[in-house]
Amino acid sequence: MMTLEIVYFFYMFVSLFFLALFLSIYFHNRKTLFFIPTLTKNHSLSVLVPAYNEQNTIEGTIEHIFASDYKGLLEVIAINDGSTDNTLQVLSKLQKKYKKLVVINKANSGKASSLNYALKLVKGDFVAIIDADSYPDKKAFSQLMGFFSDQKVGAVTAACTPMNRKSLLERLQTIEFKVIAFTRKLLEYIDSIYVAPGSLSVYRLKALKEAGGFDSKNLTEDIESTWHLLSMGWKVKMCLAATVRTVVPNTFKAWWIQRVRWTVGGFQVLKKYRKDLFKKGMFGYFVIPFFIFGLTIGILGVGIFFWIYMIRLFQRMEIVFYKMDAGVPLVALQDLNITPSVLNYFGIVLFIIFFLFTIFVLMAMKDDVLKKQKTYEILLYSTMYLIAYPFMIIWSVYKWSRGYNRWR
Amino acid sequence: MEIRYRHYFIEALVITLILFIMGFLLGFSLESARNAELTEYYNSTKSDLGLLESQLKSLDVDDEECSKLITQNFELGNRIYEQALIFQDYETAAIFTKSELVEEHRKFDILKTIYWINSIGIKKTCGDDSFETIVYLYEYPATQIEEISKQRVMEKISQEVRSNTKESILIPIAKNLEISELTELIKQYDKVNESVLLIINEREVYGYEESKSLISN
């Protein structure tokens, strides 16, 4: 076997291993996937809503927060981070309606910095972070807060799902978010949730303060804060039953920019916590390697694909030049007779397994997505959408090397 | 790794290993089945060639017998050529049994050399113009892209020549696999050191550059 074939088999082995790991965790814990701990105490909760140019969505976010059935809601602090639109005016109007709404208006300094600013003012023992374009369900806070009866839990996150599901891109993200929520919940069973996303996560204030708040130098303050908590020995949980709907990008450009920011943020976090590799329990032994694999395996896959096909392309081109020079036919029927190799079969099987896994996840999530989603969209998600990822990662590496630091 | 979670990882590893071993075994059996098919081709061609050889030895210069033998030789030649194409396909697709196929390639080329010798014999006995032989000689395996390109072109040229010539047989043989009969047969040609070569009716010899004229004509 040649080196390239060995690398190809390694890529397949690792991909299959992680898939098998998820299935193993699922079958051991499938009965508790949607478990909601009983709420024994209504802890005081402060909700932080950082906002930058969110005039169209922030009203809905605030309305949804105040519609919550959680009885310990102490205050909602909206931080207007130097918006250039009417976000502040919308908030001022809402302030008249909700007495518990506190509005902070400050010069633009980024999301993490805004959250740190607000953290100094919070009165609750727990802090929820909600993006200003996200809409938590009525029961979400009650469902999340129950997890904190375990004193080792530092953060709890909810299942995020797209609000807008009309365009193809939005519908593909719906599938993606379902898969992410499902696998994230499974990671909880091995104490390896690597991010409590900003769309809706609740933190124990003590843990957050111990971590020194949010890292304003990081593009993904939610990944960073989660890693910080894990590195200090705190647990991060997920409530699959608690949902928050969020506005997702509806153009490819916006999607691309968002994902590049997430990925560059991931690189920053990896760099910051590289010394914890193979230290500190599951964090160093699984979360960091898993994250590294997640970022590199796609590049490896696309690298192999390109290596093989670029070489073939160059060979074909040279052969074509030779044929043209000699005046022989460029293509003959015989050239189309391709006998598949074992590698082709392995690739097809792996693709089918991942396709079936996606369907399985959509079924396991007990959501109506599967009914509404067209089969070709799941197929498209398994091919085009996932194929775009390695390119996005490569682009992110480039942007990171150029000092990319846009947080929005 | 925390001990309480170890069972998930062990389970996942076992599942992955089982799937992988199954995949490898299926891969091996697929390639083995293809190789068995090639061996079957080899054996049947070998026995048919042996039969043809013995017929040639006892051949009287008789029009009817000659015509029968030429037809049989033609059919066998076409079969050998078709098998060579299948061999090439399987060889390109092989992952686990590539090295085995190199040896198989040599065996097939010995067979093709014997076939060529037989064809020369038939032509001598039955008349020189009874049919034409187009022998395409190349180096195996080709690793450099320039060499691969030349071989692809020569394959096409030899196919074109074959399709433009009535009653012709195309015999592709690797010339660097130390087949003594072949070395003996081709040492008389001055262009024998060229990497690709076309020999038509054991008289006309074309290297890569000269062979292009066969198409333009």
B62 has a pLDDT exceeding 70: no
CA A162, chain centre distance (Å): 12
Q: How confident is the model at residue A88 (pLDDT cuts 50, 70, 90)?
A: very high
A203 has a pLDDT exceeding 90: yes
Which run of H or E residues covers position A232? Answer: none
pLDDT at A339: 79
A155 has a pLDDT exceeding 90: yes
A366 three-class SS? coil
A369 has a pLDDT exceeding 70: no
Q: What is the mean pLDDT of residues A239-265?
A: 94
**Contacts with B13 from chain A: Cβ below 8 Å:** 17, 20
A246 has a pLDDT exceeding 60: yes
Q: Chain A residue closest to B93 (CA)?
A: A341
Please check whether residue A224 is in contact with residue A266, taking contact to mean a CB–CB distance below 8 angstroms. no
Please check whether residue B172 is in contact with residue B136, taking contact to mean a CB–CB distance below 8 angstroms. yes
B217 has a pLDDT exceeding 60: no
A33 has a pLDDT exceeding 90: yes
Q: What is the pLDDT of residues B158-211, one digit of tens each?
A: 988 898 888 889 999 999 998 999 999 998 888 888 889 999 999 889 998 888
- Write the CB contacts of B190 (distance below 8 Å, at least 6 apart in sequence): B205
**Contacts with A349 from chain B: Cβ below 8 Å:** 23
Give, in order, the Cα–Cα distances in Å from A195 to each of A73, A112, A118, A230, A288: 24, 15, 21, 10, 12
Closest-CA distance, B191 to chain A, in angstroms, reads 19
Tokens for A95?
Answer: 């302030």
Question: Would the CB atoms of A1 and B95 count as touching at under 8 Å?
Answer: yes
pLDDT at A74: 97
pLDDT at A73: 97
Integer Cα distance of A209 and A202 in angstroms: 13
Please check whether residue A12 is in contact with residue A346, taking contact to mean a CB–CB distance below 8 angstroms. yes
**Contacts with A334 from chain B: Cβ below 8 Å:** 85
A401 has a pLDDT exceeding 80: yes
A270 has a pLDDT exceeding 80: yes
Amino acid letter at A32?
Answer: T
ipTM, interface predicted TM-score of the complex = 0.88
Please check whether residue A131 is in contact with residue A115, taking contact to mean a CB–CB distance below 8 angstroms. no
Q: What is the pLDDT of residues B176-188, one digit of tens each?
A: 998 999 999 998 8
pLDDT at B92: 86
Q: Which of A231-235, A276-280, B81-85, B164-168 has the lowest mean pLDDT?
A: B164-168
pLDDT at A378: 87
B40 has a pLDDT exceeding 80: yes
Q: What is the pLDDT of residues A5-28, one digit of tens each?
A: 888 888 889 989 999 999 999 999
The residue behind tokens 């694999």 is A293
Q: What is the mean pLDDT of residues A107-119?
A: 96
Find which of A220-234, A325-339, B46-60, B74-88 is predicted with most confidence, using mean pLDDT. Answer: A220-234
Please check whether residue B75 is in contact with residue B115, taking contact to mean a CB–CB distance below 8 angstroms. no
Find which of A62-71, A284-293, A349-358 is predicted with most confidence, using mean pLDDT. Answer: A62-71
Portion of chain A with pLDDT greater than 70, in percent: 95
- Write the CB contacts of A54 (distance below 8 Å, at least 6 apart in sequence): A61, A83, A85, A87, A132, A133
| Chain B: residues touching A (Cβ < 8 Å) | 1-2, 5, 8-9, 11-13, 15-16, 19-20, 23, 26-27, 30-31, 34, 85, 89-90, 92-96, 145-146, 148-150, 152-153, 156-157, 159-160, 211-212, 215-216
* Of A114 and A385, more confident: A114
Average pLDDT, chain A: 91
A407 has a pLDDT exceeding 60: no
Please check whether residue B134 is in contact with residue B158, taking contact to mean a CB–CB distance below 8 angstroms. yes
pLDDT at A84: 97
pLDDT at A2: 73
**Contacts with B33 from chain A: Cβ below 8 Å:** none
Q: What is the mean pLDDT of residues A120-140?
A: 97
Q: Find the distance separating the first CA and the last CA of chain A, reported in whole Å.
A: 47
* Of A308 and B178, more confident: B178
Closest-CA distance, A198 to chain B, in angstroms, reads 28
Q: Does residue A10 sit at the B interface (CB-CB below 8 Å)? A: no
Integer Cα distance of A61 and A59 in angstroms: 5
Q: How confident is the model at residue B79 (pLDDT cuts 50, 70, 90)?
A: very high
Q: Does residue A329 sit at the B interface (CB-CB below 8 Å)? A: yes
Integer Cα distance of B135 and B197 in angstroms: 8
Question: Would the CB atoms of B8 and A24 count as touching at under 8 Å?
Answer: yes
Q: How confident is the model at residue A365 (pLDDT cuts 50, 70, 90)?
A: confident
**Contacts with A342 from chain B: Cβ below 8 Å:** 23, 26-27, 30-31, 93, 95-96
Question: Would the CB atoms of B156 and A328 count as touching at under 8 Å?
Answer: yes
Mutate to test the interface with B, among A3, A336, A342 (most CBs of B within 10 A): A342
For every residue of B6-66, which 3-state class applies, written as one string? Answer: HHHHHHHHHHHHHHHHHHHHHHHHHHHHHHHHHHHHHHHHHHHHHHHHHHHHCCCCCHHHH
Question: Would the CB atoms of B20 and A13 count as touching at under 8 Å?
Answer: yes
Q: Does residue A24 sit at the B interface (CB-CB below 8 Å)? A: yes
Name the residue facing A24 among B12, B90, B96 (closest C-beta): B12
B93 has a pLDDT exceeding 70: yes
The DSSP result for A71-86, as a single string, is: TTEEEEEEEEES-SSS
Question: Would the CB atoms of B150 and A190 count as touching at under 8 Å?
Answer: no
Neighbours of A15 (CB within 10 A): 19
Question: Would the CB atoms of A20 and B11 count as touching at under 8 Å?
Answer: yes
In order of their start, the domains of chain A are 3-21+295-401 (no CATH), 32-287 (3.90.550.10)
Please check whether residue A29 is in contact with residue A186, taking contact to mean a CB–CB distance below 8 angstroms. yes
CA atoms within 13 A on the CB side of A101: 26
Q: How confident is the model at residue A91 (pLDDT cuts 50, 70, 90)?
A: very high
The residue behind tokens 């998600």 is A381
A263 has a pLDDT exceeding 70: yes
The residue behind tokens 């198989």 is B104
Please check whether residue A284 is in contact with residue A278, taking contact to mean a CB–CB distance below 8 angstroms. yes
pLDDT at B99: 85
Mutate to test the interface with A, among B17, B32, B95, B216 (most CBs of A within 10 A): B95
pLDDT at A120: 95
Q: Chain A residue closest to B147 (CA)?
A: A319
B29 has a pLDDT exceeding 60: yes
Amino acid letter at B54?
Answer: S
Closest-CA distance, B127 to chain A, in angstroms, reads 32
Residue B74, exposed/middle/buried by CB under 10 A (0-12, 13-18, 19+)?
middle
pLDDT at B81: 92
Buried b (16+ CB within 10 A) or exposed e, B162-181: beeeeebbbbbbbbebebee
Whole-prediction pTM: 0.85
Q: Which of A61-70, A300-309, B20-29, B188-197 has the lowest mean pLDDT?
A: A300-309
Integer Cα distance of A236 and A281 in angstroms: 14
A196 three-class SS? coil
Q: Chain A residue closest to B160 (CA)?
A: A328
Neighbours of A61 (CB within 10 A): 26
A161 three-class SS? strand
B16 has a pLDDT exceeding 80: yes
pLDDT at B2: 66
pLDDT at A151: 96
Q: How confident is the model at residue A129 (pLDDT cuts 50, 70, 90)?
A: very high
- Write the CB contacts of B137 (distance below 8 Å, at least 6 apart in sequence): B172, B173, B174, B175, B186, B196, B197, B198, B199
Average pLDDT, chain B: 89
Integer Cα distance of A352 and A155 in angstroms: 36
Give, in order, the Cα–Cα distances in Å from B142 to each of A257, A408, B170: 46, 54, 20
- Write the CB contacts of A117 (distance below 8 Å, at least 6 apart in sequence): A79, A104, A106, A109
Question: Would the CB atoms of B148 and A315 count as touching at under 8 Å?
Answer: yes
Please check whether residue A6 is in contact with residue A341, taking contact to mean a CB–CB distance below 8 angstroms. no
Name the residue facing A342 among B2, B27, B212 (closest C-beta): B27
DSSP β-ladder status, B132-138 and A235-246 = unpaired
pLDDT at A383: 83
For every residue of chain B, which 3-state class applies, written as one string? Answer: CCHHHHHHHHHHHHHHHHHHHHHHHHHHHHHHHHHHHHHHHHHHHHHHHHHHHHHHHCCCCCHHHHHHHHHHHHHHHHHHHHHHHHHHHHHHHCCCCHHHHHHHHHHHHHHHHHHHHHHHHHHHHHCCCCCEEEEEEECCCCCCHHHHHHHHHHHHHHHHHHHHCCCEEEEEEECCCCCHHHHHHHCCCCCCCCCCEEEECCCEEECHHHHHHHHHC
A288 three-class SS? helix
Closest-CA distance, B165 to chain A, in angstroms, reads 16
A143 has a pLDDT exceeding 90: yes
Q: What is the pLDDT of residues B147-158, one digit of tens each?
A: 888 898 898 889
